[in-house]
């Protein structure tokens, strides 16, 4: 089992026992909820063109709604994590999903840009507790020796949600228009929220991870998290890695079309292969991380370094056939490390404040998606060079490797 340097002076109970079989139900419910959340987040990209006609939006305004939700989400990552710690992951997930479902339903009724932006910001605000709550729940139910596997399976929900949205929403929209899509998604979110509220459990019957001790010392504060060297290093290193991932996802299609004159369909096929790879890559990385000798830090450094190399190799390609062949390997670079960044936060956090710690880390990670697309656009716009553009992306995971160095943890034996 991995152990880290102490991150808090407050003692915790460390007696553990065999995990409860109900942990797999907890994992399934977290996966199901996050899948529905990602279908909702992807929905706008599918319905945007149709909705723009009824709302009178210009092409430039199509991305405003997605940006509005992202702003709300980033703003409430830390408060949402604190909320999950205060009331428990089960209740936080239920409230978040039900509230987001109601607002999603309301979004289907909007008739103008201003109201639509306001509703999307609100959806982002009420969604700030969801991922922190899932992290808190999984870290309580799964022992460290299984945590990579659990998070690897759970985080496939992002890829599955994207695939489901693109596969089902166009047909649904043909029957009920774009407004009806949001009515259906809103109702589905409410139902899943009630199911989670009913069947999730905050605490396993037998503890398999350090149990939070009751104490009035070491109260949660931002300063407390900033003093946690391991958590701070993981947060800023993850920003660099997400810089590469979110920047590539934002610009990958356009770079291939503009640099090589590929058709939109050909570029999309490369990206589909990259994204589909994530469904297999994420659980595989998690499974192997539980069984391969070494620390999570070392595993992360290897995957982040691999990400740098595969981006540069992609930038050197000149053949579409070679791009298709490289796409699965690129998928490992783009998505592989995400399992470890997510599953390692609970390992570095005070067990009482896992939700808050994840909110803190995730806020940092999401900033990569804010700035990377701007930097890549500027580099490619000035030079037209695919290699230079992906080199700008590669700077992020390269810094990630270096920023992981201050982390101190002990190696575990191979399982």
CATH code of 134's domain: 1.20.1250.20
Number of independent structural domains in the chain: 2
pLDDT band at 12, cuts 50/70/90?
very low
Domain-embedded: residue 4: no
Q: Are residues 293 and 333 in the same domain?
A: yes
Mode of pairing for the β-strands spanning 3-4 and 409-410: antiparallel
- Rounded Cα–Cα distance for residues 361 and 354 (Å): 10
Q: Quote the pLDDT of residue 341.
A: 92
Q: Which of 135, 166, 199 is the last residue of a domain?
A: 199
Domain-embedded: residue 212: no
122 in Cβ contact with 69 (< 8 Å): no
Q: Are residues 27 and 83 in the same domain?
A: yes
Q: Are residues 295 and 166 in the same domain?
A: no
**Range of the structural domain that residue 39 is part of:** 20-199
Q: Is the dihedral of CA 13, 14, 17, 22 positive or negative?
A: positive
Q: Quote the pLDDT of residue 4.
A: 39
- Rounded Cα–Cα distance for residues 241 and 338 (Å): 9
Q: Which of 199, 232, 264 is the last residue of a domain?
A: 199
Least confident of 117-126, 244-253, 319-328: 244-253
Lookup result for tokens 């999730």: 200
Domain-embedded: residue 119: yes
Q: Quote the pLDDT of residue 47.
A: 82
pLDDT in tens, 369-399: 778 878 888 888 888 888 998 999 999 999 9
Query: Cα–chain-centroid distance for residue 187?
Result: 23
From residue 135, alpha-carbon distances to 150, 307, 361 in Å are 10, 24, 12
Q: Are residues 178 and 240 in the same domain?
A: no
Domain-embedded: residue 208: no
Domain-embedded: residue 9: no
3-state secondary structure of 128: coil
The answer, yes or no, to whether residue 200 has pLDDT greater than 60, is yes
Q: Are residues 164 and 233 in the same domain?
A: no
The answer, yes or no, to whether residue 3 has pLDDT greater than 70, is no
Least confident of 62-71, 159-168, 345-354: 62-71
Selection from 377, 388, 391, 384 nearest residue 258 by Cα: 384
Selection from 130, 105, 102, 110 nearest residue 31 by Cα: 130
Torsion of CA 113, 118, 121, 127, to 10 degrees: -120
Q: Quote the pLDDT of residue 89.
A: 92
Q: pTM for this structure?
A: 0.79
Q: Are residues 233 and 98 in the same domain?
A: no
Q: Quote the pLDDT of residue 215.
A: 44
Mean pLDDT along residues 326-339? 92
Query: Cα–chain-centroid distance for residue 155?
Result: 7
350 in Cβ contact with 10 (< 8 Å): yes
Q: Are residues 184 and 247 in the same domain?
A: no
CA atoms within 13 A on the CB side of 209: 27
- Rounded Cα–Cα distance for residues 117 and 282 (Å): 33
pLDDT in tens, 130-175: 989 999 999 999 998 899 999 999 999 988 887 888 788 888 888 9
117 in Cβ contact with 69 (< 8 Å): no
Selection from 303, 286, 278, 230 nearest residue 415 by Cα: 286
């Amino acid at each position: 089992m991995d152990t880290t340097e102490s991150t808090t002076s407050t003692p915790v109970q460390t007696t553990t026992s065999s995990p409860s079989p109900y942990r797999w139900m907890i994992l399934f419910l977290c996966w199901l909820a996050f899948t529905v959340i990602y279908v909702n987040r992807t929905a706008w990209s599918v319905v945007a063109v149709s909705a723009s006609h009824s709302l009178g939006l210009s092409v430039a305004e199509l991305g405003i709604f997605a940006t509005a939700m992202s702003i709300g989400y980033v703003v409430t990552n830390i408060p949402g994590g604190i909320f999950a710690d205060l009331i428990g992951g089960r209740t936080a997930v239920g409230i978040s999903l039900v509230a987001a479902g109601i607002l999603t339903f309301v979004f289907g009724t909007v008739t103008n840009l201003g109201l639509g932006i306001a509703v999307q910001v609100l959806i982002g605000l009420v969604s700030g507790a969801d991922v922190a709550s899932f992290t808190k729940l999984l870290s309580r139910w799964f022992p460290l020796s299984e945590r990579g596997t659990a998070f690897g399976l759970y985080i496939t929900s992002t890829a599955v949600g994207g695939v489901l949205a693109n596969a089902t929403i166009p047909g649904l929209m043909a029957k009920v228009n774009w407004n009806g899509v949001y009515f259906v998604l809103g109702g589905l979110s409410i139902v899943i929220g009630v199911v989670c509220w009913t069947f999730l459990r905050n605490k396993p019957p037998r503890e398999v991870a350090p149990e939070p001790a009751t104490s009035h010392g070491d109260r949660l504060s931002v300063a407390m998290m900033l003093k946690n060297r391991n958590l701070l290093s993981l947060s800023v290193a993850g920003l660099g890695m997400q810089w590469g991932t979110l920047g590539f996802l934002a610009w990958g299609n356009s770079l291939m079309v503009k640099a090589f004159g590929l058709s939109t369909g050909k570029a999309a096929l490369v990206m589909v292969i990259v994204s589909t790879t994530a469904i297999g890559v994420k659980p595989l990385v998690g499974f192997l991380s539980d069984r391969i000798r070494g620390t999570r830090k070392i595993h992360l450094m290897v995957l982040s370094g691999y990400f740098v190399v595969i981006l540069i190799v992609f930038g050197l390609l000149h053949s579409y056939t070679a791009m298709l062949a490289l796409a699965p390997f690129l998928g490992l670079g783009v998505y592989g490390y995400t399992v470890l960044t997510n599953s390692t936060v609970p390992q570095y956090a005070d067990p009482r404040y896992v939700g808050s710690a994840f909110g803190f880390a995730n806020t940092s990670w999401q900033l990569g998606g804010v700035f990377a697309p701007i930097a890549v656009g500027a580099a490619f716009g000035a030079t037209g060079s695919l290699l230079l553009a992906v080199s700008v992306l590669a700077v992020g995971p390269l810094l990630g490797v270096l920023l992981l160095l201050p982390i101190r943890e002990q190696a575990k034996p191979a399982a």
